[in-house]
Amino acid sequence: MVKVTGLEGVVAGETDIGLVDGEKGYLVYRGYWAKELAVTRTYEEVAYLLWNGHLPSAEELERLKSEMAESRQLPGYIRQIIELMPASVPMMLVLQSTVAALGEQENTSWPPALTQAVRLASILPTIIAYRYRTLNGLTPLEPLSELGHAANYLYMLTGEKPTKAHVQALSAYLILCMEHGMNASTFAARVVLSTESDMNAAVAGAIGAMKGPLHGGAPYEVIAMLEDIGTKERAEPWLRKALESGTKIMGFGHRIYKTKDPRAEALQIATQEMIGKDPSFDLALHVEATAIHLLQEYKPGRRLFTNVEFYAAAILKALELSPDIFTPTFTAGRIIGWTAHIMEQAANNRIFRPQSVYTGPMPQNEF
């Protein structure tokens, strides 16, 4: 008997939200190349696209921006929950708990509505920033309505209005986090919603899946590698030593993409303004070029290209974001895809009820 594990290769549904084709290096959002959207559109525009199926008009975009700005505020009881949680509680568990609690007090009608998706996407960065500043002995900041989504997130974390280059880099990163097919967390969200539970419960389930290191693991190892290399002069000898000892070079190769990760391509374009202005980013680009050259030398014929984790690491390090908010920041992007899938599931819902193969013993007696 063939052992059935992981559901790999099993089609669990149809969607017109996104396409992932690893062989061809495709990542498509609603008929648009994701890598093009990341460098030509804002977070709000791509969120609107994934939620509504088309890019917004100028009027629709302004309305969404206004709705998101109004939806960023934390209710008092959510602030209390965040403050009462021990410092040892990880950020992802804080997100999961507060999203669930928010659903018990706010509109969580069935089927889920777009207004609920807007609320969740808008408030998630505020929760992250509130918890981060509280833990670090800093006064939490109120969101600024005049700032866009990515700029406001950086402001609430740092207390300073960010540069255009940093906003562009973070916006591109968040856009490329939004959607990636029927991944574990998206599937979890659709399974929970299929029971006719509410959107907040489905998102809380998705956050639980994202919390696992096999899914939402942040690019810590890439950053550790870059920090260990330290300077451009050390890059080639460090990488040669690693390759000759059989050590894996982090940030290269991908389970799905067998060509260059389209998300890495987009982030490379989106961060051009940072070249020459941020030493840590310049080092990352030098390490990438050196690693690709050496991988071709040591592993000829292997399709090992830069993946999104490498550029994510370079950007997050350049933005000076704390490692404990890497996965939560990824989550702040993916919330758009989750909520889009949740609404798609609700529109043609049927509860997920797969079969399993029983492999245990049978009773020895007749009953």
Record the tokens describing residue 334, joined without a space.
């993916």
- Residues 36, 49: contact at Cβ < 8 Å? no
DSSP reduced 3-state for 344: helix
- Residue 157 makes CB contacts below 8 A (sequence gap 6+) with 128, 129, 132, 133, 321, 325
Q: How far apart are CA 246 and CA 249, in angstroms?
A: 9
For the chain, the 3-state helix, strand and coil shares in percent, each to the nearest 5, are 60, 5, 35
- Residues 15, 50: contact at Cβ < 8 Å? no
Catalytic site includes residue 254: yes
Tell me the C-alpha to C-alpha distance, in Å, between residue 114 and each of 119, 195, 233, 255, 316: 9, 19, 51, 33, 30
List 254, 265, 288, 344, catalytic entry: 254
Catalytic site includes residue 215: no
Residue with tokens 């990760």: 261
- Residues 229, 287: contact at Cβ < 8 Å? yes
Q: Which residues pair with 19 in a beta bridge?
A: 28
Which of 247, 251, 256 is CA-nearest to residue 226? 251
Task: State phi, psi for 45 to the nearest 5 degrees.
Answer: -65, -45
List 44, 265, 288, 309, catalytic entry: 309
- Residues 257, 290: contact at Cβ < 8 Å? no
- Residues 34, 263: contact at Cβ < 8 Å? yes
Catalytic residues: 254, 309
